[in-house]
Amino acid sequence: MNQVQRRGPIARFFIGLWDAMNFTRRLIFNLVFFTLLFIILAAIGSGDRSEPLLERTTLVIAPEGRLVEQFSADQATRALMKAMGAKGGEIQLRDVVRTLDKAGEDKRIERVVLQLDRLSGGGMASRREIAAAVARVRAGGKQVVAFSEGMDQSNYLIAAEADEIYLDPMGGLLLEGLGRYRQYYREGLQDKLGVDVHLFKVGEFKSAAEPYVLDAASPESKEADLYWMNDLWQRFLADLGRARKQDPAVIAADINLLPEGIAAVNGDLAEYALQHKLVDGLKTREQVQDELVERGVADADAEGGFRRVSMDGYLSHLDAARKLSPDRRPKVAVVVAAGSITGGDQPPGTIGGDSTSALLRQARDDDEVKSVVLRVNSPGGEVFASEQIRREVVALQAAGKPVVVSMGDLAASGGYWISMNADRIYADASTISGSIGIFGMIPTIPRALDKIGIHTDGVGTTPLAGAFDISRPLDPEVGKVIQSVIDKGYRDFIGKVADARGKPVDGVDEIARGRVWSGAQAKDRGLVDELGDLKSAIVDAAKRVELDEGDYAVTYVEKTGTPFEQWFGGFAETRLAGLLLRDSDLARGLVARALPATRADLKLLEDAITPTAGVPVKALAYCFCALD
């Protein structure tokens, strides 16, 4: 009789361990599977994520985040962050303007409330564009009320357009003027660390790299900066004076006497704002909400006790309506070029020589697109990447599609390079532009190495072999080579501007040399054609292909997410997803992995010293001239 052979204790141990592991694996797989199945079924069954928009609704615009031209995170990440209750993300300028413009036409919206305390970023041109949209709402006969618990002058430029401005009695509002100060590193780098920075540039006003070779701003830099900053400041005062029905000179005088004025009210900033007619009353949030209940429709279930819709909620209604009726009209495409210009394929919120060129080619190849608006908000960057994008603008025109540029807060240096060939250039009067010039920079560190007892030596087959090794002193003859390359780059820049703008090269050189101009000053000098916002540029682009208002649709040509990202983005915006994800550690982990890496402020200068094949130095057309 055969006996069953019994396994030994070691074999039984490993077999039991394997069975336990196999059971655990199946359990985890099933948990993940059923969790995903539940989420999918919940998304399908969640239905419309927008509550009905009723008559006599108050639109509350209370953005929390940084004002940008274009999101830097994908749709799924943004929606996931919102579902988790994360604050301080990004607010697209176009969304704020679209919300205000649509609300002005929407009979269901009775009034608009502005709460701007947590809106940051953006420059003066962006704020003026939003302020103009607020003014259009008022011009349409709808009331606009602004409330703040503490406001800076950038947001006050928008709030000033409201019918009424209320400030919390414990709040504050200060108008302080425009300032632009930077840190200078020469002593720290050269004297303390032994790092010698060699700067090669053309143009006495090209000051982007001055902090690395000077201990303070050059006289030319101060002269140029104060010239355009004063122009922006006077326009700021004029805008406030018109909106608040005050003499701009009186506002300016009050600012100059601010210490005495604050002392006169015993340091009460809110009372100071009221006495100087910057606000219409001092009220708490609860008092303003009570006022809105009386003016509107009471709703005990709504935040604040009155019938309301948030900006995000209102945008959801607008987007849902647009999805129900696809627009088959001819299209004016908008391509956004926002951020620093670098080579290669870059994510949204940054300009890539390859990626932005690809978007322009996409617009060129799309038969439904009849003309293009290039929205530029950039301080510039790499010369070669800028030239790649400029060539695509020319290719669009050669294909019979007009290109109109709309400049945002900043379109300087490389930002102007990609703009100059447009059929028409629009800028806000307070846009920062110009800075036509280039520079290159090479640090050398032999003195720094000497301090720690390290020395470099060797041989080369030619005098140039190893000449660009930063551990060796820079040979003056090599410096001449680099300066020649920069000189040639500057001649290319002003030559292309002269051809594009129909001006003599000498005339361009007079207004170039790295000097920065306001939008109004740039127009006076022929660098800009018209003063106007994005909407003006879109209308112009449509007219160039004989399309009147109502005959065309506006479409943004941007990188789109994968089908899963788009689906998940839509699900994460539902109320059900908010409940599931708001306190989810897993979701937080996903966000941490998905968010784009933050870039250090000096990333561009780090890139400047990164070797580029075939050239001794990377030529940069960049302007450190933003105010935000």
Catalytic residues, which ones? Answer: 206, 413
Sign of CA dihedral 204, 208, 214, 218: positive
The answer for residues whose C-beta is within 8 angstroms of residue 41's C-beta and 6 or more apart is none
Say how far apart CA 156 and CA 338 lie, in whole Å. Answer: 25
Q: What is the DSSP letter of 305?
A: G
Report the candidate in 88, 140, 91 with the shortest Cα–Cα distance to residue 112.
140
DSSP output for 267-285:
T-HHHHHHHTTSSSEE--H
Residue 351: Cβ within 10 Å count: 29
Length of the chain: 628
Say how far apart CA 155 and CA 143 lie, in whole Å. Answer: 19
Token duo for residue 20: 């336990």
The answer for residues whose C-beta is within 8 angstroms of residue 591's C-beta and 6 or more apart is 77, 80, 81, 84, 86
Residue 77: Cβ within 10 Å count: 23
Sheet-wide strand order for 196-201: 196-201, 439-444, 620-622, 380-382, 341-342, 351-352
First-to-last alpha carbon distance for the chain, in angstroms, is 92
Report the candidate in 222, 202, 172, 215 with the shortest Cα–Cα distance to residue 509.
202
Q: Which residues pair with 380 in a beta bridge?
A: 622
* φ/ψ (deg, to 5) at 370: -100, -30
Token duo for residue 469: 């090794």
Say how far apart CA 165 and CA 280 lie, in whole Å. Answer: 5
* Residue 148 three-state SS: strand
Answer for the pair 397, 423: CB distance below 8 angstroms, yes or no.
yes
